[in-house]
Chain A
Amino acid sequence: MADSRALPRRRFDARLMLAGGWLLVVLLAAIFAPLVAPHDPLAQDLMLERLPPFWLPGSEPGYWLGTDSLGRDLLSRLIFGARIALIVAFVAALAACIVGSTLGLIAGYFGGWPDRIISRIVDVWMAFPPVLFAILLVAVFGTGLMSVIIAIVVIDWTRFCRVIRAEAMSQARMDYVENARIAGFGRIRIMVSEVLPNVLPSIVALLSLEMGIAVIVEAILSFVNLSISSDAPTWGGIIAEGRLSIHQAWWVLVFPLIALFLTVLSFSQFGEGLKSRFDPVLR
């Protein structure tokens, strides 16, 4: 019998390890922020203002990445900022994923009028420019962590809905779905136990990507001072402050940008890596 044996497992996946490694560092820093941060992120000390990072002349020991124009320790602020970034990333992305994927699965699998209704809503929804939409929503709900999360969910569920609808649609046409019908199974059961496992890899990849996007949106909202109270350390807020003193203290702008960049990149790469791990055909 000419049956192909199971393919050998993919070896050590550098992309998955690097991205996962950075995310783990950020996650641990966020969870244990009070323990790992060398200073109080809010403590001002005008004697220590605009200290450069440790390798430049004029730096003070203990202030590894320098201080901002109010003398607050930059590293501590970044670590506490990671808390807010990750809370927003996990909660908002997960909620958007659940809402969008459920609607997308229903639209794609059932077709017909459920699909028409859901697709029209998505079309109308996507006609709003996302960042303006977010600013408008936060302006309506008032600033605060909760309204940032709500804003992201309200804007970004359509991303899941569109992708999962398309995938569920192509899966619904497969013969195995018809076979399950013939075997006597109901539609809901087929949707959940036959179609869902086949779109799960995409959901996981999108979820991870969406976490990165949520981090960006949160940063944008803090940058325009619409996120949480203005003295709470958020990456976007630190970037906004750093922008003002870029000629005197570039590090206040550059380090949060690097943290943001690495985190968003890691989320998207981690998602892609997981997708190829999850997919039995690619594996």
Chain B
Amino acid sequence: MSDCLDISNLSATLPSGQRVLRSVSLTVQPGEVRALVGESGAGKSMIGKAVLGVLPPSVRIVEGAIRLEGTDLDALSAKERRRLIGAKAALIPQDPLTALNPSRRVGPQMTDRLVHILGWDADKADKRVRQLLDEVHIREPDRVMKAYPHELSGGMRQRVLIAAAFASEPRLIVADEPTTALDVTVQKQILRLIAQLQQEHGTAILFVTHDLGVVAKVSQKVTVLYAGKVVEEADTPALFANPQHAYTRALMAATPKYTDPLASLKPVDESVLAGLAAEVAVADHDWRPHG
């Protein structure tokens, strides 16, 4: 059985030649939740976008491969790649306020992909969407499907987007900081919902986040990223029990604890950052882009 997602040795550059991803390798097994952690600018969302084929035009992949269920995305034509990603992958976006089209009703936005990309008939798509709305605990599917996005709250919209992501039965879902834009009170519900649907549907998730608390709750595997470089990779329990890299330990020390929210907070230490900078410099020095 092949990996659900296999990223090997992926490097990407900006037009200036600066690398934003530095030989990143990671895999997601079928049905597994892999967390991708790092501070902002570490390139975690960039990896998500690369997997989904929506990198900004200025970012260029110069090395490495992304395989979705064994198919090398690079070997496909643009159209084939779009169809494959449309059929096998989905996104739970960061900001539910802009991820729905404001001038279209919610229902058609949810069924669009099922009907036009997967070729389902309208009735089947409608039933499927209603079933998923039920699974995300939306009790008035008729009202929600007829509503415009601005008529729903942020939490409701995120539920709608989660339902839409699972509706097409994708093999892989990229969840890009799905709780960051939400109210703290709603965050927990949404996390629980994603975890629950993931288990019921057996979908693999690449869970992009900066929040180690979230990592501990939802994931089985973790990849820690710094400046577009993988610094540590482990099973989630092992990572929390015994973090190997100084940067991981520093991140943990910088995460607030419920028992003592303020006192235990420490910014990442200067010496750790210096060590990271040196590692990155060595990686860049040894790196020769080819073809």
Contact of B82 among A2, A175, A179, A186 (CB under 8 A): A186
Chain B, range 69-104, C-beta contacts under 8 Å to A? 79, 82-83, 85-87, 89-91, 93-95, 98-104
Measured between beta carbons, the chain B residues less than 8 angstroms from A32 are none
Query: At the interface, yes or no: B148 with Cβ under 8 Å from chain A?
Result: yes
Shortest A149–chain B CB gap in Å is 31
Contact of B148 among A184, A185, A280 (CB under 8 A): A280
Query: At the interface, yes or no: B151 with Cβ under 8 Å from chain A?
Result: yes
Task: Known A2-B155, A6-B147; judge A181-B116 contact (CB<8 A).
Answer: no
B-binding residues in A (CB < 8 A): 1-7, 112, 174-176, 178-186, 194, 197-198, 200, 279-281
Measured between beta carbons, the chain B residues less than 8 angstroms from A281 are 102-103, 148, 150
Query: At the interface, yes or no: B239 with Cβ under 8 Å from chain A?
Result: no
Task: Known A185-B117, A280-B150; judge A179-B155 contact (CB<8 A).
Answer: no
Closest to A201 in B: B103
Closest to A199 in B: B103
Shortest B226–chain A CB gap in Å is 26
Measured between beta carbons, the chain A residues less than 8 angstroms from B82 are 181, 184-186
A selection of 29 A-B contacts at a CB cut-off of 8 Å is A2-B153, A3-B151, A3-B153, A3-B156, A4-B153, A6-B147, A7-B151, A175-B94, A175-B95, A176-B101, A176-B102, A179-B91, A181-B82, A182-B54, A182-B86, A182-B89, A184-B82, A184-B83, A184-B86, A185-B82, A185-B112, A186-B82, A194-B101, A197-B104, A198-B101, A198-B102, A200-B103, A280-B102, A281-B102
A112–B87 Cα distance when bound, in Å, is: 28
Measured between beta carbons, the chain A residues less than 8 angstroms from B67 are none
Q: Check if B113 sits within 8 Å of A184, measured CB to CB.
A: yes
Q: Check if A183 sits within 8 Å of B117, measured CB to CB.
A: yes
Q: Check if A182 sits within 8 Å of B101, measured CB to CB.
A: no
Q: Considering the complex of A and B, which 10 residue pairs feature the smallest CB-CB distances, nearest first?
A: A184-B86, A183-B113, A184-B117, A175-B99, A197-B103, A176-B101, A3-B153, A175-B98, A280-B148, A182-B52
Contact of B91 among A112, A182, A194 (CB under 8 A): A182
Chain B, range 123-177, C-beta contacts under 8 Å to A? 147-148, 150-153, 155-156
A1–B79 Cα distance when bound, in Å, is: 40
